[in-house]
């Protein structure tokens, strides 16, 4: 069995990537994500993979997409300003259906903001950062071990759905050190690259979807001579200006993810059986929230908690159920209020949804969240 190791969240991401079969990383240093690049620079050549430090985040994103098309599983890591620069090619990956995982270790923005301080301010950028209509998958771990597992999952989803997947880390988890036991090979599932089911002479078309609406796009160099473009294209892969092709392909991009929501959406529920109130959190904040909820419980307050691991696609159904059960939902976020809007939308007026926002570089204290829970129960201001 693997021995327990003291490890940082960012290192766990790199280890998870290697475990999942990532063999190519291109990146550009930025706090607080840099340790991922540094760890990949060390680990990748040890397993025959490659690491390149590119000249900026646009180049990094281009390089991983090229490597992915040539058959490699790929990863790239960044933070705020770099995440902004990558948006153009995240859209490219969504449109051309190129598997790729991008880690965003969030920091305080806008702009250079507070480079070393934790934040959860990129929730909406992860969803809507690039132009146009496109789906996305975003996962937010809350422990070091889960940073590992979520990375493996992210790589698997990228491959399985041929889509960009965002690992929405925050500085809290990225720089957290915990003792972890990493899984043995084979312990976690690893999804292999999808392969064409017929040959070129049998009429292969790269963008003909399978039953799960995902196409088996051939890797470059396999003799299929495919064309890949960021223009809207039909099943042949060549651009088409047709309204019906456009509508069909944009719809398929969305539906390949939405149809699989039950498979993709993960969350933890705590103390919900008898709960009259609930705290909904994600990422590093969940650690503090968990403590606050336990404290409140000890004082007899019937409060439960949901910790979202999957941020996008959003867990609408679960929130709707929750909102029916409880008399109020508290959403503590390290931003001015982002996920709260989604929760409000999904709750659809069944119960009040209250925001506890913090954006001053400091993390929540358990007392702050505990006080907010009490205020929520009292029906007062948070």
Return the residue matching tokens 């409140």: 296
- Window contacting other proteins (CB under 8 A); options: 66-74, 102-110, 244-252, 263-271: 66-74
- 67 vs 323, which CB is nearer to other proteins? 67
**Interface with other proteins, residue 227, by CB under 8 A:** yes
Judged by CB under 8 A, the stretch of 38-46, 256-264, 304-312, 356-364 that binds other proteins is 38-46
Question: How many other C-beta atoms are found inside a 10 Å radius of the C-beta of residue 173?
Answer: 30
Strand-pair partners of 356: 332
Q: Are strands 164-170 and 137-139 parallel, antiparallel or unpaired?
A: parallel
Pick from 33, 34, 39, 68: which binds other proteins (CB under 8 A)?
68
Give 195 or 360: the residue with its C-beta nearer to other proteins: 195
* Stretch in the footprint of other proteins (CB under 8 A) among 9-17, 57-65, 288-296, 355-363: 57-65
Report yes or no: 175 and 32 within 8 Å, Cβ to Cβ: yes
Q: How many whole angstroms separate alpha carbon 74 and alpha carbon 147? A: 17
CB-wise, 46 or 111, nearer to other proteins?
A: 46
Q: Which of 13, 61, 103, 343 binds other proteins (CB under 8 A)?
A: 61
Contact criterion met (CB below 8 Å) for 254 and 133 = yes
Distances, alpha carbon 41 to alpha carbons 14, 53, 67, 107, 250, in Å: 10, 9, 16, 23, 37
> Under the criterion CB under 8 A, does residue 69 sit at the interface with other proteins?
yes
Q: Does 223 bind other proteins (CB under 8 A)?
A: yes
Backbone angles phi, psi at 126, to 5 degrees: -60, -35
* C-alpha distance across the termini of the chain, in Å: 47
Among 128, 204, 238, 267, binds other proteins (CB under 8 A): 238
C-alpha 265/C-alpha 340 separation (Å) is 18
Binding other proteins (rule: CB under 8 A), the pick from 2, 4, 6, 47 is: 47
139: tokens are: 């996962």
**Which H helix or E strand runs over 114?**
strand 114-118
Q: Which residue has the tokens 């598997």?
A: 99
With CB under 8 A as the rule, give the number of residues binding other proteins: 48
Among 88, 123, 128, smallest CA distance to 104 is for 123
3-state secondary structure at position 184: coil
| Shortest reach from residue 46's CB to other proteins, in Å | 5
- Decide if residue 132 touches other proteins (CB under 8 A): no
29 touches other proteins (CB under 8 A): no
When asked if residue 221 is in the footprint of other proteins (CB under 8 A), the reply is yes
Regarding 92 and contact with other proteins (CB under 8 A), the answer is yes
Q: How far is the CB of 367 from other proteins (least distance, A)?
A: 48
Task: Characterize the bridge pairing of strands 303-308 and 267-270.
Answer: antiparallel
When asked if residue 186 is in the footprint of other proteins (CB under 8 A), the reply is no
Residue 56 interacts with other proteins (CB under 8 A)? yes
- Of the candidate residues 31, 38, 62, 234, the single one contacting other proteins (CB under 8 A): 62
Does position 377 interact with other proteins (CB under 8 A)? The reply is: no
Task: Establish if 38 lies at the interface with other proteins (CB under 8 A).
Answer: no
- State in angstroms the smallest separation of the CB of 34 from other proteins: 19
Burial class (CB in 10 A: 0-12, 13-18, 19+), 141: buried
Question: How far apart are alpha carbons 319 and 344 in whole angstroms?
Answer: 9
Q: Would you count residue 204 as binding other proteins (CB under 8 A)?
A: no
Question: Which range touches other proteins (CB under 8 A), out of 163-171, 216-224, 268-276, 331-339?
Answer: 216-224
Among 225, 251, 259, 317, binds other proteins (CB under 8 A): 225
Question: Which of 24, 83, 148, 157: binder of other proteins (CB under 8 A)?
Answer: 24
Residue 376, phi then psi, degrees to nearest 5: -60, -45
List contacts with other proteins (CB under 8 A).
23-24, 26, 42, 44-50, 52, 54-56, 58-72, 74, 88-89, 92, 220-231, 238-239
């Amino acid at each position: 069995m693997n021995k327990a190791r003291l490890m940082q969240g960012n290192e766990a991401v790199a280890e998870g990537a290697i475990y999942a079969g990532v063999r190519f990383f291109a990146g550009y240093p930025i706090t607080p994500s840099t340790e991922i690049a540094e760890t990949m620079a060390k680990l990748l050549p040890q397993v025959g993979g490659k690491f390149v430090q590119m000249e900026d985040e646009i180049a990094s994103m281009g390089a991983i997409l090229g490597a992915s098309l040539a058959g490699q599983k790929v990863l790239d890591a960044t933070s705020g300003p770099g995440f902004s620069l990558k948006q153009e090619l995240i859209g490219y990956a969504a449109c051309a259906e190129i598997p790729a995982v991008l880690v965003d270790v969030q920091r305080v923005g806008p702009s250079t903001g507070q480079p070393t301080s934790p934040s959860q301010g990129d929730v909406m950028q992860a969803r809507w950062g690039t132009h146009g209509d496109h789906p996305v998958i975003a996962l937010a771990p809350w422990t070091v071990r889960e940073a590992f597992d979520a990375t493996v999952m992210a790589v698997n989803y990228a491959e399985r759905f041929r889509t960009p997947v965002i690992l929405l880390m925050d500085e809290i988890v990225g720089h957290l050190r915990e003792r972890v036991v990493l899984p043995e090979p084979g312990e976690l599932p690893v999804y292999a690259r999808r392969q064409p089911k017929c040959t070129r002479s049998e009429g292969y078309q790269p963008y003909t979807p399978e039953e799960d609406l995902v196409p088996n796009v051939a890797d470059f160099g396999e003799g299929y001579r495919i064309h890949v473009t960021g223009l809207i294209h039909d099943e042949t892969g060549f651009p088409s200006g047709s309204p019906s092709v456009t509508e069909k392909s944009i719809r398929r991009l969305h539906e390949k993810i939405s149809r699989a929501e039950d498979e993709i959406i993960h969350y933890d529920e705590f103390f919900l059986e008898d709960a009259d109130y609930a705290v909904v959190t994600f990422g590093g904040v969940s650690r503090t929230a968990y403590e606050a909820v336990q404290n409140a419980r000890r004082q007899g307050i019937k409060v439960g908690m949901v910790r979202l691991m999957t941020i996008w696609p959003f867990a609408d159904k679960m929130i709707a159920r929750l909102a029916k059960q409880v008399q109020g939902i508290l959403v503590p976020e390290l931003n001015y209020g982002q996920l709260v809007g989604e929760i409000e939308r999904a709750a659809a007026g069944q119960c009040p949804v209250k925001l506890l926002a913090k954006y001053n570089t400091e993390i929540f204290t358990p007392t702050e969240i505990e006080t907010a829970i009490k205020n929520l129960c009292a029906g007062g201001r948070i």
